[in-house]
């Protein structure tokens, strides 16, 4: 069997006789045995070779087994390797101290080769099962992320909508999302929304909300009417404690009018071709909690080249820096003004870059949707 496909075990002991016994008894069973006689050598081999399991003596001159395992568990490259302690001290305090540091088992000296073999087999099986579970969960989350991404509307899918977007999910299951809806040939709907709480259930709900938007954002319904009908459905289907904030813009390029409805969401930014940028301040209730709700609406006469930016609060908020979106309003206005001459497709990404400068450590999902009349 090629060495790369065999399980490797690192045996660490300052006693050459113990190392030889482990090397011979485990080697006969097909394991690849690595050996080290001291702590620093063991750590170096572990980081380089990434063994499947480590047999670690506690009492060694210089760096003892407790010191070694502390280093191993603090290094991301070796933290997940299971460690079995070898010790001649059969005291409960010693064992408890080892378990607290991350050991998975103990073998008391003098040890019998068959006992060592049995313990090694057991913990390799447990490691295989754990790694398989982690890989399976990671694959499922990856599929969820890919499914979410596949639902995203791109500028190329609706070139007449004249929009650009920056979309970043902090976790595999994003809670912020956007949608661009062709209502008629000259009328498009633009939505940015944010779920309370980001988890697996939320990611599945996003597809349902997008279906609701497509069903209710139609020429026969006014913007407030559309949002109200969506709220009525959400009240029935959302779990307790879940709600949604949203900003909905309906742009009619035939009449040159933008109608914006706000449902508890940060205000849109309006950047007219001639004039200074400003926030479209509108009050409105959140979605999915109460039947009896009120949504503010504002109609804006627009000109070709005017722009609007809808965004989620993750764009400007920072718990780490204790910044709420209300505190960062002027920064957002300033950067939206700076990107006037950049194409609408590139402008959202440039806004994120200017806001966060060289230090970009997102703490939440980020969506910014740019719209050009």
Q: What is the CATH number of the domain that holds 236?
A: 3.60.40.10
Give helix 223-237 / helix 200-216 axis angle, nearest 10°.
140
Average pLDDT, the chain: 85
**Residue 195 and residue 260 in one domain:** yes
**Residue 357 and residue 241 in one domain:** yes
State the average pLDDT over residues 293-317. Answer: 90
Give the residue numbers spanning the domain of 346. 151-372
pLDDT one-digit tens code per residue, 132-177: 766 665 565 555 555 555 557 888 889 999 999 998 876 544 578 8
Would you place residue 353 in the very low, low, confident or very high pLDDT band (cuts 50, 70, 90)? confident
Tokens for 361? 């450590």
Can you tell me whether residue 170 is helix, strand or coil? Answer: coil
> Does the pLDDT at position 119 exceed 60?
yes
- pLDDT value of residue 328: 67
- pLDDT value of residue 34: 95
**Residue 126 and residue 260 in one domain:** no
User: Nearest-CA neighbor of 68 among 93, 91, 34, 45?
Assistant: 45
Lowest mean pLDDT among 2-16, 301-315, 339-353: 2-16
- pLDDT value of residue 319: 45
**Residue 263 and residue 281 in one domain:** yes
> Does the pLDDT at position 198 exceed 80?
no
- pLDDT value of residue 162: 95
> Does the pLDDT at position 307 exceed 80?
yes
For 99-117, give the DSSP string: HHHT--EEEESSPPHHHHH
| Count of domains for the chain | 2
> Of 99, 125, 143, at which residue does a domain stop?
143
> Of 96, 114, 143, at which residue does a domain stop?
143
**Residue 331 and residue 192 in one domain:** yes
3-state secondary structure string across 26-89:
HHCCCCEEEEECCHHHHHHHHHHHCCCEEEEECCCCCCCHHHHHHHHHHCCCCCCCCEEEEECC
Q: What is the CATH number of the domain that holds 94?
A: 3.40.50.2300
> Does the pLDDT at position 84 exceed 70?
yes
Give the span between the Cα atoms of 222 and 229, in whole angstroms: 11
CA torsion 328-333-335-340 (nearest 10°) is 170
- CB crowding 94-118: b at 16 or more within 10 Å, else e: bbeebeebbbbbbbeeebeeeebbe
> Does the pLDDT at position 1 exceed 50?
no
For 231-257, give the DSSP string: HHHHHHHSPTT--EEEEEEEEETTTTE
> Does the pLDDT at position 226 exceed 50?
yes
Residue 154 C-beta-side C-alpha neighbours within 13 Å: 5
Say whether pTM exceeds 0.75.
no
> Does the pLDDT at position 201 exceed 70?
no
> Does the pLDDT at position 302 exceed 70?
yes
Is-contact 317 324, C-beta < 8 A? yes
At a CB cut-off of 8 Å and minimum separation 6, what does 143 contact? Answer: none
User: Nearest-CA neighbor of 39 among 93, 97, 78?
Assistant: 78
- pLDDT value of residue 356: 79
Would you place residue 68 in the very low, low, confident or very high pLDDT band (cuts 50, 70, 90)? very high
Stated as kind and residue range, the H or E segment containing 188 is: strand 187-195
> Of 143, 160, 189, at which residue does a domain stop?
143
């Amino acid at each position: 069997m090629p060495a790369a496909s065999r399980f490797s075990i690192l045996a660490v002991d300052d006693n050459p006789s113990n190392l030889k016994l482990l090397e011979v008894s485990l080697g006969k069973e097909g394991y690849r045995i690595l050996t080290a006689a001291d702590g620093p050598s063991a750590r170096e081999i572990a980081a380089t070779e990434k063994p499947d399991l480590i047999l670690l003596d506690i009492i060694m001159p210089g760096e003892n087994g407790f010191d070694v395992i502390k280093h191993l568990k603090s290094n991301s490259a070796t933290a997940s390797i299971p460690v079995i302690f070898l010790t001649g001290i059969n005291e409960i305090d010693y064992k408890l101290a080892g378990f607290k540091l991350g050991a998975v088992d103990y073998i008391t000296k003098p040890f019998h080769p068959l006992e060592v073999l049995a313990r090694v087999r057991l913990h390799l099986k447990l490691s295989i099962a754990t790694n398989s579970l982690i890989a399976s969960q990671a694959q499922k989350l990856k599929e969820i992320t890919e499914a979410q991404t596949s639902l995203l509307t791109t500028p190329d899918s609706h070139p007449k909508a004249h929009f650009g977007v920056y979309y970043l999910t902090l976790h595999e299951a994003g809670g912020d999302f956007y949608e661009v809806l062709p209502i008629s040939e000259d009328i498009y709907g633009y939505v940015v929304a944010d779920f309370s709480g980001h988890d697996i259930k939320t990611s599945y709900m996003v597809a349902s909300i997008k279906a609701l938007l497509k069903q209710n954002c139609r020429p026969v319904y006014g913007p407030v009417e559309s949002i109200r009908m969506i709220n009525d459905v959400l009240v029935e289907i959302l779990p307790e404690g879940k709600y949604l904030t949203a900003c909905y813009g309906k742009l009619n390029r035939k009449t040159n009018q933008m109608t914006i409805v706000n449902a508890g969401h940060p205000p849109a930014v309006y950047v007219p071709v001639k004039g200074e940028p400003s926030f479209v301040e509108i009050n409105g209730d959140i979605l999915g909690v109460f039947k009896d709700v009120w949504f503010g609406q504002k109609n804006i006469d627009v000109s070709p080249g005017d722009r609007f930016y809808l965004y989620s609060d993750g764009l400007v908020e920072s718990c780490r820096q204790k910044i709420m979106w209300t505190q960062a309003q002027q920064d957002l206005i300033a950067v939206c003004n700076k990107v006037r001459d950049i194409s609408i497709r590139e402008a959202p990404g440039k806004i994120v870059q200017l806001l966060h400068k060289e230090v970009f450590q997102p703490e939440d999902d980020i969506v910014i949707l740019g719209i050009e009349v």
